[in-house]
């Protein structure tokens, strides 16, 4: 069947070419910067700390000083900006464990003095995360431009999430670009290069052969890097051979379904995959939303056109999603049936992995056509609950557990004294209804307070700029940029 090959091609095109896009900085307001105020007190708030015990703390006072949680239920220092938390709920900032963030790129060819030719406004790229309470992202198509974005955030020039960054290693045709390895020794060298370039993670991709994949995972362990990835196609029929120590996280439930593409996909297969993962201590990012969005746009592009969040997407990508949509181009009843079967099976997998005790983390594949950064994480949480997680388990999958996998649980992931103030203030209790994570009253991102007014202003400015630039950015003209 061609779908699979085709999907891969899309993903490759996506990874290599198009998750950069850009804004020029013309007419950009300069006020979206980290504020000077560094002392805050949230009063009368209900805290859902997301610690292992997760005991609710009602009507609490939380003091934030110099980006960190200074105290809970102690006195309020002079000079604190007071935030009224009455009838509101405080949860840790959310973590999206699978994103592809737009960044500067080159649609043409490098010249001796020019790399990127197409630039984007980093704040615009990060706004959709922050206004949705996504305060940490795991970038799974990491490249040097993402380091540049991270520096802008760290320097306080941009309000954005913490960024964990994993660059990709793939196999196959070296002319495909990127880090392509087809032998174990090349695989090991690629991992050492990744380490030398300053990355902490490696993403293994679909076209690696068996020996190269195993060498990537093994060398990464020697170098102290964690591996997230696809399960390469080469493992079909012997999936268990991919489950070796240090293969830490499978990036989509779909990786498993691709292994049994033309075979039955029942509870039995789901349980087998859960067992493989459990025995190897490999976690799963189910990534339910991407397949749902793909299915919808294969059926009809109205699903894209009618998206409320589309206006927050860069106009170049809006144009691509609507007028050069490769998923929709290959629409057929068989393709839709196949995607429907995946949607059913992936829910089954969430149940099986939960029963087996395999930790699952929330991730969206945002950046893929129809999956909007920031907004999509709330969709994913709903789908996880729909699949069978409790509201609390869904929240755990987007807070404490990802912080543990990324090894940043000492600084974020729960609400505790001494941790950084990555916080989401909600108008309603998400333990009662997971949709309440969308009712955002304000966000603390690394101690910077973004209240509802500011969120609305950031969103309207972004939508306004994107809309005003629609005629300027057309996908068919991208090589000219």
Closest CB to Zn ion among residues 365, 382: 365
We find the least distance from the C-beta atom of residue 372 to Zn ion, in angstroms, to be 14
Locate tokens 């690696």: which residue? Answer: 208
Rounded Cα distance, 381 and 386, in Å: 9
Closest CB to Zn ion among residues 166, 349: 166
Q: How many residues bind Zn ion (CB under 5 A)?
A: 1
Q: Which two tokens stand for residue 316?
A: 């170049």
Closest CB to Zn ion among residues 365, 379: 365
Closest CB to Zn ion among residues 219, 365: 365
Rounded Cα distance, 154 and 160, in Å: 9
Q: One symbol per residue from 143 to 162: x for binding Zn ion (CB under 5 A), - otherwise; what is it? A: --------------------
Closest CB to Zn ion among residues 364, 441: 364
We find the least distance from the C-beta atom of residue 423 to Zn ion, in angstroms, to be 27
We find the least distance from the C-beta atom of residue 376 to Zn ion, in angstroms, to be 12
Exposure of 61 in the CB half-sphere (CA atoms within 13 A): 13
- Kindly report the backbone phi and psi dihedral angles of residue 42, in degrees, each rounded to the nearest multiple of 5, phi listed first: -95, 120
We find the least distance from the C-beta atom of residue 140 to Zn ion, in angstroms, to be 5
Is residue 350 exposed (0-12), middle (13-18) or buried (19+ Cβ within 10 Å)?
buried
We find the least distance from the C-beta atom of residue 400 to Zn ion, in angstroms, to be 23
Residue 16: count of CB within 10 angstroms of its CB: 16
We find the least distance from the C-beta atom of residue 122 to Zn ion, in angstroms, to be 20
Closest CB to Zn ion among residues 287, 446: 287
Closest CB to Zn ion among residues 19, 118: 19
Residues 328-347 close enough to bind Zn ion by CB under 5 A: none
We find the least distance from the C-beta atom of residue 355 to Zn ion, in angstroms, to be 26
Provide the b/e sequence for 78-102 (b: ≥16 CB within 10 Å): eebeebebeebbbbbbbbbbbbbbb
Rounded Cα distance, 76 and 42, in Å: 9
Secondary structure of residue 170 in the 3-state scheme: strand
Closest CB to Zn ion among residues 251, 395: 251
The closest residue (CB) to Zn ion is 365
Handedness of CA 222, 228, 234, 240 (dihedral sign): positive
Locate tokens 């209804």: which residue? Answer: 433
Rounded Cα distance, 194 and 320, in Å: 31
Residues 349-368 close enough to bind Zn ion by CB under 5 A: 365
We find the least distance from the C-beta atom of residue 15 to Zn ion, in angstroms, to be 7
Contacts to Zn ion by CB under 5 A: 365
């Amino acid at each position: 069947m061609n779908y699979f090959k085709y999907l891969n091609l899309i993903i490759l095109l996506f990874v290599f070419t198009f998750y950069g896009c850009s804004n020029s900085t013309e007419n950009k307001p300069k006020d979206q910067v980290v504020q000077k105020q560094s002392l805050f007190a949230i009063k009368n708030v209900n805290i859902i700390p997301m610690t292992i015990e997760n005991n609710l703390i009602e009507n609490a006072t939380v003091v934030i000083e110099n980006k960190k949680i200074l105290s809970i239920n102690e006195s309020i220092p002079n000079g604190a900006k007071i935030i009224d938390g009455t009838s509101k709920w405080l949860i840790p900032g959310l973590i999206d464990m699978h994103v592809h963030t737009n960044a500067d790129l080159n649609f043409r060819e490098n010249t001796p003095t020019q790399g990127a030719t197409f630039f984007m406004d980093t704040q615009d790229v990060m706004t959709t995360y922050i206004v949705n309470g996504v305060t940490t992202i795991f970038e799974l198509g990491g490249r040097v431009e993402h380091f540049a974005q991270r520096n802008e955030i760290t320097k306080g020039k941009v309000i954005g999430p913490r960024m964990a960054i994993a660059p990709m290693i793939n196999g196959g045709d070296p002319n495909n670009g990127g880090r392509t390895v087809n032998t174990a020794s090349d695989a090991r060298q690629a991992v050492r290069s990744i380490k030398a370039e300053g990355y902490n993670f490696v993403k293994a991709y679909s076209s690696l052969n068996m020996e190269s994949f195993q060498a990537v995972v093994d060398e990464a362990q020697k170098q102290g890097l964690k591996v997230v990835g696809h399960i390469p196609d080469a493992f079909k029929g012997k999936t268990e051979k991919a489950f070796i120590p240090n293969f830490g996280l499978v990036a989509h439930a779909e990786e498993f379904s691709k292994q049994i593409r033309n075979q039955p996909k029942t509870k039995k297969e789901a349980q087998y995959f859960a067992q493989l993962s459990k025995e190897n201590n490999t976690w799963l990012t189910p990534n339910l939303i991407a397949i749902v969005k793909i299915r919808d746009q294969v059926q009809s592009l109205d699903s894209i056109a009618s998206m409320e969040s589309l206006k927050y997407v860069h106009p170049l990508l809006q144009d691509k999603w609507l007028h050069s949509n490769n998923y929709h181009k290959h629409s057929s009843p068989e393709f839709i049936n196949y995607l429907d079967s995946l949607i059913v099976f992936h829910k089954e997998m969430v149940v099986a992995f939960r029963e087996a005790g395999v930790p699952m983390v929330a991730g969206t594949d945002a950046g893929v056509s129809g999956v909007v950064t920031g907004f999509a994480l709330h969709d994913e949480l709903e789908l996880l609950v729909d699949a069978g997680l409790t509201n609390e388990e869904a929240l755990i999958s987007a807070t404490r557990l990802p912080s543990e996998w990324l090894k940043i649980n000492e600084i974020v992931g729960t609400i505790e004294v001494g941790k950084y103030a990555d916080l989401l203030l909600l108008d309603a209790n998400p333990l009662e209804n997971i949709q309440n994570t969308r009712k955002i009253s304000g966000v603390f991102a690394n101690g910077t307070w973004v209240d509802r007014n500011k969120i609305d202003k950031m969103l309207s400015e972004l939508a306004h700029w994107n809309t005003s630039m629609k005629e300027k950015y057309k996908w068919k003209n991208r090589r000219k940029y």
